[in-house]
Amino acid sequence: MPDNLTVANATVLLVEDHRQLAETVLDFLASVGFQVDYAADGLSGLHLASSNNYDAIVLDIMLPGMDGMALCQTLRQDKAIATPIIMLTARDQLDDKLQGFQHGADDYLVKPFDLPELAARLVALIRRQRGELSPGQLQVGDLVLDPATLSVTRENTLIQLSPTCFRILKILMRESPKLVTREMLEQELWGDMMPDSDSLRSHLYKLRQAVDKPFALPLLHTVPGQGFKLVPPPSR
């Protein structure tokens, strides 16, 4: 089993009412080194999450007693609990995912899912919470990109990006704090198959809206006539 599917001494709470799925997840996570507790309903999950200091919680949405959305929101209202939460659900609509994030989820995994992907996402969340970087992760200031899980966070907030914006950000983070010219970006993104319109400008606008606008200090800078660079804010 790959070493990057677990974190030392990591404890996880699984809240899932489907017994067969729960047993499969429990067995796999234990096999790769996680210590896992289990609850079959929302109220039991709330009790365990409130009385134990878990590294992460895997939370189904459709639960008896208290559903996953309500449980997630209740935990987030307790300032003493900052445990990362992965929502586990059969719902694959954008509105459902956004609702999960609005209730305080850190990540979202749709059933059916691959068990190694769940483990990899847990590792990424736990290492982020501990202030560690996974192999291959890129960081500029408080912005973190994880190629393994295709996730981007800033100030521990998950940022949703299109595939092209993700690729642009990865290039800029890889080269940071050096300047990346427009030509370098276009060549790496599209090679000789350049789009007809000025797609790069549009993607950079969307990227800036996602990674800079909601936060106090900008990271993405335009150097007129030269290109772009991603620069961490000065230390205070």
Q: State how far the Cα of 231 lies from the Cα of 221, in Å rounded to an integer.
A: 7
3-state secondary structure at position 40: coil
Residue 29 CA to its chain's centroid (Å): 19
pLDDT for residue 1: 42
Exposure string over 166-176, b if 16+ CB within 10 A, otherwise e: bebbbbbbebb
* pLDDT tier, 94 (very low <50, low <70, confident <90, very high otherwise): low
Q: State how far the Cα of 201 lies from the Cα of 203, in Å rounded to an integer.
A: 6
Mean of the per-residue pLDDT values for the chain? 87
**pTM of structure:** 0.58
For strand 220-223 and strand 227-230, is the pairing parallel, antiparallel, or unpaired? antiparallel
User: Domains of the chain by range and CATH?
Assistant: 3-132 (3.40.50.2300), 153-230 (1.10.10.10)
pLDDT for residue 115: 93
pLDDT exceeds cutoff 50 at 35: yes
* pLDDT tier, 2 (very low <50, low <70, confident <90, very high otherwise): very low
Question: Which range is least confidently modeled, 11-20, 83-92, 165-174, 203-212?
Answer: 83-92
- What's the mean pLDDT in 195-219? 89
The encoded tokens of residue 163 equal: 């595939």
The encoded tokens of residue 89 equal: 């659900």
- What's the mean pLDDT in 153-159? 85
How far is the first Cα of the chain from the last one, in angstroms, to the nearest whole number?
A: 42
Neighbours of 112 (CB within 10 A): 7
pLDDT exceeds cutoff 60 at 162: yes
